[in-house]
Amino acid sequence: MSDLFPLPEIDEINAPFWDGLKDGKLLFQKCNSCGHHWLPARQECPSCLESDYEWKFASGKGIMTSWVVYHTAFIPAFKDRLPYNVAIIKLDEGPQLASNIVGEVDQSNFKIDHPVELTIEDEHGVKVPRFKLV
């Protein structure tokens, strides 16, 4: 198994998401047909399957709805981070995404619906959305 860090595959569909992070902004897609909001990027609305959408800026605020704390590095590149968390964040605008809670946190005190705020970090040359507890 390789210790290479897994990087995102950037394509024409998700490029606006990654470009937004480079500019310090978190973007999500909004359907112009039914109004549904979503992440991750895709060609059609997961609610109505229409492909008429636009990119919107997120406030960067939300809540933590779920999480797991890993004590085993199933991906070798993450072994120096143990223990680390993966959290599901529901943005105030509605979309949800998997991310990490960063900063000075005691993972044993995580709570459902804890408010979070976006912070953008550089990970091996790629800007990624992470969140801090508020």
Please indicate, yes or no, if residue 9 is contained in any of the structural domains: no
Range of the domain at 39: 15-133
Structural domain count of the chain: 1
CATH code where residue 55 lies: 2.40.50.840
Please indicate, yes or no, if residue 10 is contained in any of the structural domains: no
pLDDT recorded at residue 43? 97
Please indicate, yes or no, if residue 32 is contained in any of the structural domains: yes
Percent of the chain residues topping a pLDDT of 90: 92
5/42 Cα distance (integer angstroms): 24
- DSSP characters for 37-49? EESS--SS-TTT-
57 in Cβ contact with 25 (< 8 Å): yes
Per-residue pLDDT tens over the stretch 23-66: 999 999 999 999 999 999 999 999 999 999 999 999 999 999 99
pLDDT band at 3 (very low <50, low <70, confident <90, very high): low
Please indicate, yes or no, if residue 89 is contained in any of the structural domains: yes
17 CB-contact burial (10 Å; exposed 0-12 / middle 13-18 / buried 19+): buried
Please indicate, yes or no, if residue 7 is contained in any of the structural domains: no
Please indicate, yes or no, if residue 127 is contained in any of the structural domains: yes
pTM over 0.75: yes
